[in-house]
Amino acid sequence: MTRHHRDETGDLRYPARRRALVALGGAAIAWVARPARAARTDLASPDVHLAHGGIRAFDRYGPDSQHQALIDAAQRCVSAGEACLARGSRSEAVAHMVASCGDVARASRFDANMLTDAVARAAAFCADCESECRARGDAAFQICADACAAFVTESRKLTQAS
């Protein structure tokens, strides 16, 4: 017998045992992963959300939301602001604008009660960000300034309607 568990003919000494252990390990992994996979499919089921007041959340909110233009403007501000931060902007106005517009984009999907106040705060941050970005000559900052101006325009529509 050699040190690699082979006999004189060169065959492995315990091949069936190793195959059985590998199969048992694979079965154990599959059994452990089963509840996680089942939980994901249950959450994806539309009937799971019927417990929330008998309403399916995705029936009222989403791409056909009444605030879709505001959501789009807020998301453009967030992506443009993140580009500014990536280009080296150390402005607090940009950081505040990214945070507040992200909050507005999330809150407006659900038509939150405090949406008007959040939009007013975000519009103030966008106005500050726009003035700082216009002062810079880089194209990324100009794109951010344009996105902020578009958000301020959309926010006026909501605040005037309220």
- pLDDT tens column, 45-61: 555 555 444 444 444 44
41 vs 78: which has the higher pLDDT: 78
What number is the average pLDDT over the span 15-29? 74
The overall longest dimension of the chain from CA atoms, in Å, is 91
State residue 130's pLDDT score: 92
What number is the average pLDDT over the span 141-148? 93
What number is the average pLDDT over the span 97-109? 88
56 vs 20: which has the higher pLDDT: 20
State residue 24's pLDDT score: 76
63 vs 104: which has the higher pLDDT: 104
What number is the average pLDDT over the span 131-155? 91
**% of the chain beyond a pLDDT of 90:** 30
Task: Please name each of the domains of the chain with its CATH number.
Answer: 65-161 (1.20.1270.360)
Q: How far apart are CA 120 and CA 161, in angstroms?
A: 13
| pLDDT band at residue 67 using 50, 70 and 90 as cut-offs | confident
Q: How far is CA 130 from CA 57, 74, 95, 96, 124, in A?
A: 35, 14, 12, 12, 10
Greatest mean pLDDT among 18-22, 88-92, 148-152 lies in 148-152
State residue 15's pLDDT score: 64
Q: How far apart are CA 141 and CA 130, in angstroms?
A: 9
State residue 56's pLDDT score: 44
State residue 59's pLDDT score: 46
In this predicted structure, which of 46-60, 112-126, 129-143, 145-159 has the lowest mean pLDDT? 46-60
